[in-house]
Each structure stands twice: as C-alpha cells, then as structure tokens.
Structure 1
Amino acid sequence: MHHSSTDFLIIGGGILGAATAWALAQRVPAGARIRLVEAGMVSTATTSQAAALLTRVRPDPAMAAMVAQTFAAIDELNSVLDEPLPLRQVGSLHLATDETGRDYLQQTANTARQLGLASDRLSADQIRSLSPWLEPGSDGTALFVAEDGYMDPVQLAQGYLTAARRLGVEVIQNCRVERLLVEQGRAVGVETPKGQTHAETIICCAGPWSAALLAQYGISMAMAPVRSHYWISEANPKLFPVNSPMVILPDINAYARPEVGGLLFGLRDKQAVYGDASNLPEDIHGYLFNCDPDGWDCLEAGYSSLSGVFPALEQVGIAHYISGISSYTPDGKPLLGTTELPGLLVASGCSGGGIALSGGIGRMLAEIALGRDPFTDVKPFRVDRFGQVDSFSEAFRIQCALARSQKISG
C-alpha cells in the first residue's frame, strides 16, 4: 500500500527521471522519502527511441560538464550494480568533406583541448580501417575523439533505477499524473487515477508531455516535439565491425554508429517536422508525424550526400526505421531547475541529448531540490530564459524544429 505523501515526487520514469531519482537518493538526509511515478512502464517511451550518442566535446562548458558527469555516473553505477553497463567506448570519428565541416573539426579540436580530451587527425587509410563502410574521398579529413561512446539507453535508465531502488526509492508504474495539486500558490502534490499524493518537492521529468501538463498552471515550457529518426541497415559485420567508432558527418547533418551487426544512421530533416505538444498520444509507439511519416522524403533528400561517403548504401538493405520524438528548445539546450510555481522543478527540452546529459541533469536537479549550489552553471538552462512564449503556436514550433535541422554535431 502506498503512502499518501512523500518528500520528493518525480513525474516520469524515462532517463531523466531515473537519473534524478538515483542522484537524489544519494544525497537526501536519512529517512527522506522519494517516489517516482511513471505513466506506463519505465524507460519505454522516448528513452527507448534514442540513438544514445555520448559525445563529450560540447562548445558550452556547462553542457560538457553535464556529459562528463554522465560518464562519471556510469563508472559509479558499475561499482554498485551486479552487472556492468554496456558502454561501448569506441570513440567518435568526425568526417568533414567541405569548408563548413573543416571549420567544425577545428572548433571541435580546440574545444577538446580546452576540456583536456585527446583528439587526433586521421588519414584516409586510418578512416577506412576504423570504419570500412566510410569513404572519405580525396577532400575528406577527419578528427577522432577516443573517449566518446554509446550505449543502450534503456539499459542505462534501468541502471539508474536499479541503483535508486536499492537506496529506497519507490517506483510506481502505469500511473499517469493527471494534474498537479496547488495550494496557496504552491505545488503540493499530484493527482493520478490511483489517488492523490502530497509532496514537499515535485520534479517533472515527463518529456514532451510536460508542456501540456504544466501549461494548466501558467508555466510555459519553451520546447516543441520534433521528429528525431534513424534507420538501421541489415547486418554486415565485415562492413560494420562492432568496435568501429560512431561517425559524425557535419556537412550532411548525419550521424551513424554500429548496431547489432548493422549500421544505425540518422539524417536531420531539412524541412522542419514537428508535432503538437497539446495533442500527443499517451503511447507514442507507432506515432507518426503528419509530414513525411515514413521518412522517405528525408532519406531521398539526403541520399546523394550520404551515399557519397557511404557508397555501400546502394547495396545494403534497410532493416528498420525508427521515428521518435525529441523535445527541442530554440537554442538546443535543456530546460532545467526551478519554475515560477514554488515547489515545482522541471527537467526537459533536452534537444536530442538527454541520454548523454542524464548524469549531469540528475545531479543538478538533486542539488537544486536540496537547496545546494549546483556543480555547474545553471544559467544556460533556466526555464524562463526565453521569456513568456506560446509553445503551442505554429511559429514557435517551427523555431524549435529548425534548431534540430541546423544541428551538425553528434
């Protein structure tokens, strides 16, 4: 039987809710109660659709600190879990084929140096040796960052939750939060089909559903649901070795990594594809955007550029197409921290980087919830940094979708 109150209540059991639960459980005073409430089954919504590239080099120092904290969290989880997490630390290979990409490579190398990360220029032969499917051409140049990696996002989320449960966190599944309880201008709990729960602090990690939930209380979440999609090729272990690196292709807004003997590759839409946060289904599996729902237009638009560096694309079959939802903000940075409603914190708007940022976001939210100074600068992520916006308007949703279309990094 569940208690009708708790000290900390986390809405959402995806990667951010899971990371926050674990970080909070490590820091709360003895006897403090933490409850996580998930609408469906934990880590099965947007988390399960992520490509999960863990790239350390970020131009914003606070973002870089967040990713570094995720790697630290993985190391710490491995010391307490029965089985180590399946981190594939294969490095990232950044290939440029024109001047824009070469500028990006130089900026990445400079930032890596500032962060104390090693990066190396690669010859064409080295590129082909690391990634046999990749053809750099005569003008191609590449940078390799050895400390980057990727992993299964569901297993990372489950790792956070397993460790959190061992520290006493209560996890309730199949229990959708329908509304917040507000008394005298303060959030004091939530209402679900299973009843009401009161809490001293509420942390909303409900992903793209956060916008509609919180709009009822005058909180404008400056983000929109934007399509994030990728394809997985048929298996070909010789062409796609399991230990080959992730590949970032800045000139064609694409990325790739090994996936069960095949190649997972993503293209960012040149034409903005977005949804309506006020009209999202409870279960997003099978959800398709109304523009180019099967991704063929996007693949066709990027096919010529992609096949130039991936000539085997002409022969390798496509085994799977995954279309998911990412919550994008206009500047591509998450919305984290306090809101104008006392008692309510949020973590959302990760703009396709939630897996890589998860450890840092969890720690930051835990520190804010406990009234401590966050380990890195919170200003770039303030929820109110865009002012009052209409996050459901067509113009704003296009603005958020363009943030994805113009993204060239991993």
Structure 2
Amino acid sequence: MQYPSTDFLIIGGGILGAATAWSLAQRAPAGTRIRLVEAGMLATATTSQAAALLTRVRPDPAMAALVAQTFSAIDQLNKVLDEPLPLRQVGSLHLATREAGRQYLHSTARTAADLGLTTERLKLDDVIQRAPWLSAAADAEALYVAEDGYMDPVQLAQGYITAARHLGVEVVQHCRVQSLVRQQDRVVGVQTDQGFMAAGCVICCAGPWSTQLLAEQGVSLAMAPVRSHYWITEDNTDLFPADSPMVILPDANAYARPEVGGLLFGLRDQQAVYGDPASLPENIHGYLFNCDPDGWECLESGWTELAEVFPAIEHLGIAHYLTGVSSYTPDGKPLLGQTDRPGLLVATGCSGGGIALSGGIGRLLAELALGQAPFCDQSPFALNRFGDVDPFSEAFRIRCALARSKKQSG
C-alpha cells in the first residue's frame, strides 16, 4: 500500500504513543499531518499488562511534573470524550512496620508537602476502616495521600487515541515497522510490512522493542526488558471494598489495589528477572524471562512480610497471575528526547510508571518535536545520562533489573 508522506510519524500505539499523538495534535500548527503506526491493535501489548497506579508523590520534581500533567490530561480528555474516563481517585495508603519503611513515609510526607499535595497521618483504626484486609502492629505508621488513584490503562490509552483522532491524527493498526530509513545521517521515515512511509520526524514509542529497532541505527538505549507481575485474589467484597485506597507497603516491597471484588497485589523481585531485547516476540503476552517463570520464587520470598500485614492471604485463593514486560533504566526514570540522529525522537524506559507518566511524557515529546520550550526540566530524562552502554549485555540487563528490586513507591 502506498502511504503519503507525513510531518510526524509515531511508532507504537500503546499509552505513550497515544498520549504523544494527542499532545502533538493539540500543539501543532493547523494542517500538520500526524500518523500513528501500531504493529497490532492499540494498547494491547505492554500497556494492557500494567497495574496502573497513579501516584503523584515523586522525589524528583520533573517526575512529579509528568504525573501531575497526566491528571490534568484526564481532566482535559473528560471535556471532549463522550463518556468520562474511569479514574478511581481513592487515594493511596502507605503503611510502614519497620524503620526503613518509616523513613520512606517521612520522606513521602515531606515531598508531598513540597508538591502542595494533601497528606494525612492515620491511626490504625482508620487504616482498617479504609482497607479492611490490612493488619498491623500497634507501632506501625500510616500515611494517606488523597489525590492518588488508579485507572484501567487500556481505557486511558483509548481516551488519548479518540481525542487524537478528533484532532485529525491518522491511526494505522496491524502495520509493523521493520526498520528506520535514513538519508545520510537524518531519519526520513520507516520501512513497514506494508511499505515505506516518509516522515519529517519520527517519534519512537515502541516500548521494549525500541532497543533493537534503534540499535540498527547505532542508537543505544539504556534500558532492559524487566519483569513486572502481580496476582489477583478471589473475590471478597467485605475485605476489598471498591472504594478502598491503593496500598503501598515499602517494608514488604509490595503494592495493592482493589480489582473487581478482589485484591490486585504486586511484589518486586529481589533477584534479577529480565529478558533479551534482541529476541522479544511480536506477541509479548506469556513471555518467559530468564528465571522463575511462574512467579513462585518471588511469592515465596515475599510471603512472610506480606502475610504480616495481609493475614487473609493465608486462606484466600489466587484467581489470576499476570506477568508483563517493563522497560527499566538503571535509575528508574524514562528516556525522553532527541537522539543523536536528526529527525528521530524517543519516549521509552518508563520503569513500570508509564501509565502515571503518560500525560506528561506526551506533552514533553510534543513540545520537543515542535521546537517549543518544554514545560518541565528534561535533563533528568536525557538519553545519554548513563554514558556509553551496551543494552544487550547481561551485566547491564542485571543492573536494570535490580533497579526494579530497589523501588519502594507505586
């Protein structure tokens, strides 16, 4: 099929590609041609695997600005969509039972105050009332952040796409980008399984597939495919009311939120569980990582700490186990901006936070692509901040996987 040239071509129809398309369409001059190309169906790859916790407290001000922009984007989308997006703004409850967790709570409270967010210290009776499944010793500490929430990630991505289409963005599904095309040093388009597409600017939002795609052009992305996974219990609406908050458990290295009558809970691997960016399949669902294929080792290693605050897990059944691929960087911050190839920008490496960061990333990439002043500091997300790296080396992939192990927040 012959496609006409376009001003901007976005690779990837997940949450980041969708948000970037919408933000670009909002800010580009009238008549600008924007095309989004997705290998399969929109938002059915890594986006659909996300737990989608929208936590606003981030120690880095630039990260906090990205999340705040996502909440602003949701408000904007609700004004143009036929139905409002299903944001569950139930707040987040952070529970600490050990000294390390208490230090995390104190730091979170200070950062929230700096960001102008509302926090509340909770007594244990209040904790149980808000989240009946929790149990903690009398000396435990709890902090509640009212503005946080969660959302179905696919519905948010579809919201971005619908609004982008209203603004004239062309969406092409079931079209796989096979390679980038250069003339001299500049990227001038992409070769797809449906033919060549010329573009004035290419924005790569292809998630974990970005590493191999850009490596063929001599661009090394400092990230690795790392396992994210979670379990969903059987239904128990008495323990898991739909309006109960998300829960962050720093001492157990865990998080949880309600999920259609049950509880969705995640544990972060203490060992390095990662994949190979050179051999990712087209269908990412059911991808097998280097070890612990069913998550039993992770669940067993975190069971004692989790059961201390979630005693019902000893007798509740597990209804589902879901595993996904997250693109992790060594510092847990995304890779955003212009590559050293003119005409090529990238947005990836969200380290498990892509849903929460999506609105801000979309806006930042649109501003950079259009040569506008960015709304927040982009330096924490610089592509070259780690120096020269080999994203295909096992040592580097282990480094990225361990960054997930050290993560405390949602």
Shorter-chain TM-score tier: over 0.9
Q: What is aligned with 1:402?
A: 402
Q: What is aligned with 1:178?
A: 178
Whether the aligned pair in 1 keeps the contact of 2:225 and 2:276 (CA below 8 Å) is yes
Unpaired runs of 5+ residues, structure 1, are none
Q: What is aligned with 2:107?
A: 107
Q: What is aligned with 1:79?
A: 79
Q: What is aligned with 1:196?
A: 196
Structure 1 residue 193, shift from structure 2 partner: 1.0
Percent identity, please.
74
Of stretches 282-291 and 203-212 in structure 1, the one that deviates more from structure 2 is 282-291
Whether the aligned pair in 2 keeps the contact of 1:98 and 1:139 (CA below 8 Å) is no
Whether the aligned pair in 2 keeps the contact of 1:4 and 1:196 (CA below 8 Å) is no
Name the SS of the counterpart of 2:41 in structure 1.
coil
Q: What is aligned with 1:376?
A: 376
Summarize deviations over 1:232-256 as a string: whole Å, max 9, x none: 0001111100000000001111000
Q: How many residues align?
A: 410
**Do residues 17 (structure 1) and 29 (structure 2) align?**
no
Letter of the 1:77 partner, please give it: L
Q: What is aligned with 2:239?
A: 239
Structure 1 residue 138, shift from structure 2 partner: 2.0
Whether the aligned pair in 1 keeps the contact of 2:338 and 2:345 (CA below 8 Å) is yes
RMSD: 0.7
Structure 1 residue 393, shift from structure 2 partner: 0.3
List structure 1 runs of 4+ shifted beyond 6 angstroms: none
Name the SS of the counterpart of 1:142 in structure 2.
strand
Letter of the 2:126 partner, please give it: Q
Whether the aligned pair in 1 keeps the contact of 2:336 and 2:382 (CA below 8 Å) is yes
Structure 1 residue 3, shift from structure 2 partner: 3.2
Name the SS of the counterpart of 2:324 in structure 1.
strand
Q: What is aligned with 1:122?
A: 122
| Matches of 1:358 and 1:408, distance apart in 2 | 20
Q: What is aligned with 1:249?
A: 249
Name the SS of the counterpart of 1:178 in structure 2.
strand
Structure 1 residue 290, shift from structure 2 partner: 3.3
Question: TM-score, structure 1 length as denominator?
Answer: 0.99
Structure 1 residue 139, shift from structure 2 partner: 2.4
Whether the aligned pair in 1 keeps the contact of 2:39 and 2:176 (CA below 8 Å) is yes
| Matches of 1:2 and 1:268, distance apart in 2 | 46
| Matches of 2:212 and 2:290, distance apart in 1 | 20
Q: What is aligned with 2:272?
A: 272
Q: What is aligned with 1:65?
A: 65
Letter of the 1:289 partner, please give it: F
Q: What is aligned with 1:333?
A: 333
Name the SS of the counterpart of 2:177 in structure 1.
coil
Name the SS of the counterpart of 2:24 in structure 1.
helix
Structure 1 residue 26, shift from structure 2 partner: 0.3
Summarize deviations over 1:163-215 as a string: whole Å, max 9, x none: 00010000001111000110010000000011101100100000000000000
Name the SS of the counterpart of 2:326 in structure 1.
strand
Q: What is aligned with 2:26?
A: 26
Q: After the TM superposition, which residues 217-236 of structure 1 pair with which residues of structure 2 at under 5 Å, given as runs? A: 217-236=217-236
**Do residues 97 (structure 1) and 97 (structure 2) align?**
yes
| Matches of 2:228 and 2:136, distance apart in 1 | 26
Letter of the 1:166 partner, please give it: H
Summarize deviations over 1:344-378 as a string: whole Å, max 9, x none: 00000000000000000000000000000100000
Name the SS of the counterpart of 1:107 in structure 2.
helix
Q: What is aligned with 1:4?
A: 4
| Matches of 1:337 and 1:36, distance apart in 2 | 18
Summarize deviations over 1:315-353 as a string: whole Å, max 9, x none: 110000001000000000000000010000000000000
